[in-house]
Amino acid sequence: MIKPFRIDIPQADLDDLADRLSRTRWPNEVADAGWDYGFPLARLKELAEYWRTGYDWRAHEAELNELPHFTTEIDGQNIHFVHVRSPKPDALALILTHGWPGSFLEFLDVIEPLSRDFHLVIPSIPGYGFSGPTHERGWDVVRVARAWAELMRRLGYEHYGAQGGDFGAGISLALGAVAPEQVVGAHVNYLPTRPDPDAGVELSEVDEARLDKVRQLMANRPPYQALQALTPQTIGYALTDSPVGQLVWIAERFAHWTDPRSRISDDRMLTDISLYWLTATAASSARLHRDASRGRPLPCPVPVGVAVFAHDITQSVRPLAERLYDIRHWSEFERGGHFAAMEVPELLARDVRDFFLTRVEHGRRAATR
């Protein structure tokens, strides 16, 4: 059963958040620390005070409630999603999937341009936001993809495309693997390509430089990723109990992973962070890092489109990607970072439209590359 859903956070939860922020116990900081030791104290105090006294959740809640929200239960898990129909009745449907530390909010600015040509389904990954916490092991990207296939079946879509970044990219590719007869193509804006000395392909200097960046990331595993992949429950206690802990855990990612020329507003970022806090999904969202690292990716047989943004945390190398996927479309942008749908929505929306309207056809795969 699919049920309409309306966001209505109890006032007591908002009051509790403000009270906890007012009683924050701050650490000290060495003089002229900058970013050398982590997130700067002055900037975090500024964000926390704005979250407590200036940021208006109710205003953003009202704006979000202008969208058509729904929930359903799939595989024993509550699933929240936004469903926006195009004015074109026979439009192709797209399912758009966020990553961590994002949410369905990532796609707010691409809804209007994309819905001109596509029906849009924008779910919250199990364990995230209004889908609520997961309660059992095994919610990896393949299991999420199977849930998405069931969701699209319930909505009556026989053919559809998939798009995503971060975990959403892996889920979109897995969806192509578990439902190849329904998925006409997968467009991703995050596609890490690991070094492969046996690939037997010639790489340009640019590609070699990108691989060096990947090697560095592999050699120096980011602390957040290690903690969430190894002990998500442990870090979950701190993030669920301290709003400032939750704030800095995500704000640091936004600070490091965005293009300095396309910064995301504090209000948009705080709305995303508020979703994690108000739904108490810090631990369950972190578990995806652990479960995903233990699952094995499935071969994706559907056409793939790739958008590479210059300031993303890792870069894709096309000759290596083409050994693994049926790449039909490849775009590179000098602007934009990891949160492309929030940073440069116009670029991402145009690229998604170009891929699905020119590289794949409605209901069947295009033969042209």
- What is the per-residue pLDDT across 45-86, written as a single tens digit (0 to 9) for each? 999 999 999 999 999 999 999 999 999 999 999 999 999 999
Interval 316-336 mean pLDDT = 95
Reference 366, options 354, 323, 117, 173; nearest CA is 354
Q: What is the pLDDT of residue 369?
A: 32
CB 124 within 8 A of CB 130: yes
In whole numbers, what is the pLDDT of the chain averaged over residues? 94
The rounded distance, in Å, linking the Cα atoms of 361 and 182 is: 12
Is residue 363 predicted with pLDDT exceeding 60? Answer: no
The rounded distance, in Å, linking the Cα atoms of 51 and 234 is: 25
Dihedrals phi, psi of 29, to nearest 5 degrees: -145, 140
Domains of the chain: 2-16+58-221+296-367 (3.40.50.1820)
How would residue 366 be classed by pLDDT, with cut points 50, 70 and 90?
very low
CB 79 within 8 A of CB 124: yes
Is residue 98 predicted with pLDDT exceeding 70? Answer: yes
Q: What is the pLDDT of residue 216?
A: 81
How would residue 361 be classed by pLDDT, with cut points 50, 70 and 90?
low
Q: What is the pLDDT of residue 219?
A: 73
Alpha-helical segments (H) within the chain: 11-22, 41-53, 57-64, 108-115, 141-154, 167-178, 205-219, 223-230, 232-241, 243-257, 266-278, 282-294, 318-321, 340-343, 345-354
Reference 76, options 23, 122, 137, 4; nearest CA is 137
Interval 303-319 mean pLDDT = 93
- What is the per-residue pLDDT across 11-44, written as a single tens digit (0 to 9) for each? 999 999 999 999 999 999 999 999 999 999 999 9
The sign of the torsion formed by the CA atoms of 180, 184, 188, 192 equals positive
Q: What is the pLDDT of residue 362?
A: 52
Amino acid at 200: G
Note the pTM of the prediction, 2 decimals: 0.95
Q: What is the pLDDT of residue 196?
A: 79
The sign of the torsion formed by the CA atoms of 85, 147, 125, 76 equals positive
Tokens, residue 144: 């999420």
The rounded distance, in Å, linking the Cα atoms of 60 and 192 is: 34
Tokens, residue 291: 């479960």
The rounded distance, in Å, linking the Cα atoms of 273 and 279 is: 10
Q: What is the pLDDT of residue 318?
A: 94
According to DSSP, the β-strands at 326-337 and 303-311 are: parallel
The rounded distance, in Å, linking the Cα atoms of 43 and 21 is: 15
According to DSSP, the β-strands at 303-311 and 183-188 are: parallel
Rounded alpha-carbon distances, angstroms, from residue 85 to 70, 177, 299 = 13, 25, 30
Q: What is the CA radius of gyration of the chain?
A: 20
Contacts of 143 (CB under 8 A, 6+ apart): 75
